[in-house]
Amino acid sequence: MPQYLKLQPPFIARDHFLSQIPAPHPAIEMCETVDSLGRILSEDLFAPHPLPQFPRSTVDGYAVRSGETNGASESLPALLRLAGEAPMGKIAVQSVLSGEAILIHTGGMLPPGADAVVMLEQTQLTGSDNLEIYRPVAANENIIQVGEDVHTSDLVIPAGRRIRPVEIGGLMSFGVTCVRVNRAPRVGILSSGDEIVPPYESPQAGQVRDINTATMSAIVREAGGVPVDYPIIPDDPEALYQAVARAHAENDMVLITAGSSASTRDLTSEVVARLGKPGVLVHGVNVRPGKPTILAVCDGKPVIGLPGNPVSALVISGLFARPAIHKLLGCTDPVYQPAITARLTATVSSLAGREDWVPVILQPSEQGYLAEPIFFKSNLIFNLVRANGLLHIEADATGLTAGEMASIEIL
Amino acid sequence: MPQYLKLQPPFIARDHFLSQIPAPHPAIEMCETVDSLGRILSEDLFAPHPLPQFPRSTVDGYAVRSGETNGASESLPALLRLAGEAPMGKIAVQSVLSGEAILIHTGGMLPPGADAVVMLEQTQLTGSDNLEIYRPVAANENIIQVGEDVHTSDLVIPAGRRIRPVEIGGLMSFGVTCVRVNRAPRVGILSSGDEIVPPYESPQAGQVRDINTATMSAIVREAGGVPVDYPIIPDDPEALYQAVARAHAENDMVLITAGSSASTRDLTSEVVARLGKPGVLVHGVNVRPGKPTILAVCDGKPVIGLPGNPVSALVISGLFARPAIHKLLGCTDPVYQPAITARLTATVSSLAGREDWVPVILQPSEQGYLAEPIFFKSNLIFNLVRANGLLHIEADATGLTAGEMASIEIL
């Protein structure tokens, strides 16, 4: 029996692997803020001015001196004189004098003299300028004060944040229309195998089209990296070394989907070991599918050898490639793995000590979501196309029983 | 009290709104398969040939006649003569004759005469060509048969599927390097308000920079639409009508973030009503934040009027804009809303009958995730920037208590 696999638990393998990737200093590039969705902010953003910059009303109503509404009620309203209207988008110059109120709209600037706004719904205008107020307001009620959102020099967006729509809004609120972001890591993608031909070629008997390069490229793109594809490599040690060394030199990270035979995997491991220190960290992970995974860091660049079948590629990318890209990106956000809870329609067994990932078909039902495990050979791409979820069975479990609730990661 | 709001429950409002959007016939465009990630497939893909196209080994081992391994064990191995090696990537011409085995690698073509493969680990080579086999194999063991993944003419990817990395792999396996996809809907985005200036301008006293246009554009892009931005509209009925009518004519959908005052909202509703039948379907939704939402379909195009503050924009986009874009895209995949379960650190109250959405800060802890609700005025963008989750309180609940577990949507 081949001895090349010293199986490591996936999370220990991952921590070891990630810890050997040096803290990144990603190159920085400029980007229009409107095009920055999903990019990683390079610098802390400090507020150049307070927000809001002037006191604003949060409702439609009347700016008043709050003390003059004390004790107001339906039966005994406070009576004020409507003295004018605060203009939208202009400085409010007219002061609210004693006994007066000024009409104000949501977002309008609070006039001098006023310290609160009474909601329109709690008032009635009788005649042209007699205002009845049916409820007292406290000082500052229905107002956003200067700096209530942020004060000048507050750290408002930290470096390393992945830019979402709300960050774009936040940047725009300070007029930051151009922003420094981390350059996305380039990930070289290599597939090897004498039986593999490019997808645009017609395979001869015994040959198959390469699906790994395109699949891995898409996975890299989803994770925030820039995939760089290389031509298919024949099963030849020197050709493999030349191709891998070139991809290693030209990129920030390398993914190799080698042939799945044991000899090819050993070959990949030897080739990767020649690329630089510390070299191969993990060769074999206690996970199904994906056992013969190679995790290496060579001269500061992560290199991953993946089994050449679709399910393994998906699982191993999620466990190792995505977090590595995330680290190279300089992204400091915690990673949450959202999932939905579903009821298993069949029993799934698992070896204790081994983590299992099983593709499932999720379906809504009257009783919540159902998850139907797909049992199949992991070489079959179209069974995976049918799946829309992945069931994770922890290493300490020996399986899950039909009818049990399980957490399903959405594919 | 203004009577313009006839509050509808959000899910009823959404169903009514979506049902009025005509079944789409999106325009089709060609796309390189490698660039098709996230696009919607326009046509059913039927398998042009079986997969695999030849019987393949799933392991490293020896191709044999399974009957000749009957009864094999460690103590009494079956003895076969190693007669050769099946080449990778070529047609296997050498037959396995009676009493023979042929070395084969994972993915290699099964030689004629053989009907199973014995795993390398269950054999030992003694001398140059004497092979001992320690376990019997059944017919078809460790083999993928022709068509075991798909048969010719099988429907392998349905029209309307959102293309993921595995679909790209599936397309490549048939040599489909170019694919027909649905054109993404164009969504016109309009903001109005006398107090709003473009982000690149310095606001004067009483003015604020427009954050809604950029935020909504990013949300539209995330949802799969193409945002089309229009200049800021002053609070003037005719200007608003001209701008909205133009955006309606030029796009497949329109999003208007109008001023937040009641009068502006009424104005928006009147303007939208003039665009075409059936017109305004919903004016007021029983959700916080986002109550004064306008949902309309005019001449077959959805038009949404959103409250002009960041939290409402986010919540209302998720409830109404994203599903509308999804429908216009012609995407037929079910939508799953993944979430993570977290323990609330504070009590959140809610009115019975009203759905509430509360931004939270998620944090990992020893006891699982914690969710800290952020209580704030929804006009404050930077409080939302701090949030990384949204807590959903169902309409029939009157709140959630500190310490309760809750489902949190990741932002």
B1 pLDDT exceeds 60? no
**Residues in chain B closer than 8 A to A212 (CB atoms):** 169
A20 pLDDT exceeds 90? yes
What CATH number does the domain located at A339-410 have? 2.40.340.10
Mean pLDDT along residues A253-260: 85
**Ranges A391-400, B158-167, B243-252: which has the least confidence:** A391-400
Looking at chain B, the whole-number percentage of residues with pLDDT higher than 90 is 76
Cα of B166 to nearest chain A Cα, Å: 6
C-alpha distances out from residue B209 to A46, B193, B200, B212, B375, Å: 17, 11, 8, 9, 24
Contact between B251 and B224 under an 8 Å Cβ cutoff? The reply is no
In which element (H, E) is residue B296 found? strand B294-298
Residue A300: left (phi > 0), alpha (psi -120 to 50), or beta?
A: left
pLDDT grade for A2, boundaries at 50, 70 and 90: very low
Q: Write the pLDDT tens digit of every residue in A131-151.
A: 999 999 999 999 999 999 999
pLDDT at B2: 40
Mean pLDDT along residues A178-193: 96
Mean pLDDT along residues A206-219: 95
How is A100-134 classified by DSSP, letter by letter? Answer: EEEEE-TTPBPPTT--EEEEGGGEEEETTTEEEE-
CA gap B351, B272 in Å, rounded:
30
Contact between A216 and A227 under an 8 Å Cβ cutoff? The reply is yes
What CATH number does the domain located at A28-51+160-182 have? 3.90.105.10
Taking the Cβ of residue B41 and every Cβ of chain A, the question of whether any pair is shorter than 8 Å is answered with no
A380 pLDDT exceeds 70? yes
Cα of B280 to nearest chain A Cα, Å: 23
B389: closest chain A residue by CA: A336
**Domain ranges in chain A?**
10-26+183-328, 28-51+160-182, 56-144, 339-410
> Which residues share a beta bridge with A247?
none
In this chain, the answer to whether the domains covering B56-144 and B339-410 adopt an identical fold is no
pLDDT at B14: 94
Residue A155 CB-density burial (10 A; 0-12 exposed, 13-18 middle, 19+ buried): exposed
What the block records as the tokens of A145 is 């004060």
What the block records as the tokens of A258 is 């080698």
Cα of B277 to nearest chain A Cα, Å: 31
pLDDT at B266: 81
**Residues in chain B closer than 8 A to A339 (CB atoms):** 338-340
**Residues in chain B closer than 8 A to A386 (CB atoms):** none
B4 pLDDT exceeds 70? no
pLDDT grade for B146, boundaries at 50, 70 and 90: very high
- Phi then psi for residue A250, to 5 deg, are -90, -5
Extended strands (E) in A44-177: 45-46, 56-57, 61-64, 78-85, 100-104, 116-119, 123-126, 130-133, 143-144, 155-157
pLDDT grade for B351, boundaries at 50, 70 and 90: confident
What CATH number does the domain located at B28-49+160-182 have? 3.90.105.10
Taking domain B10-26+183-329, whether its CATH number is 2.60.200.20 is answered by: no
pLDDT grade for A3, boundaries at 50, 70 and 90: very low
> Which residues share a beta bridge with A340?
A408
CATH class label, B56-144: mainly beta
Rg (CA), chain B: 31
To the nearest 10 degrees (0 to 180), the angle between helices B10-19 and B322-329 is 30
Nearest to A385 among B167, B195, B216 (CB): B167
**Residues in chain B closer than 8 A to A103 (CB atoms):** none
Contact A340 B337 (CB under 8 A): yes
Dihedral of CA atoms A168, A169, A170, A172 in degrees, nearest 10, equals 90
The count of other CB atoms within 10 Å of the CB of residue A93 is 13
Closest CA to B195 of B260, B242, B240, B246: B260
**Collapsing DSSP states into helix, strand and coil, what is residue B237?**
helix
pLDDT at B3: 42
CA gap A397, A353 in Å, rounded:
8
Extended strands (E) in B176-293: 178-182, 186-191, 196-197, 208-209, 226-229, 253-257, 278-283, 287-288
pLDDT at B332: 87
pLDDT grade for B95, boundaries at 50, 70 and 90: very high
- Phi then psi for residue B45, to 5 deg, are -105, 120
Q: Which residues, numbered 261 to 300 in chain B, qualify as contacts with chain A under a Cβ-Cβ cut-off of 8 Å?
A: 261-264
Taking domain A10-26+183-328, whether its CATH number is 3.30.70.20 is answered by: no
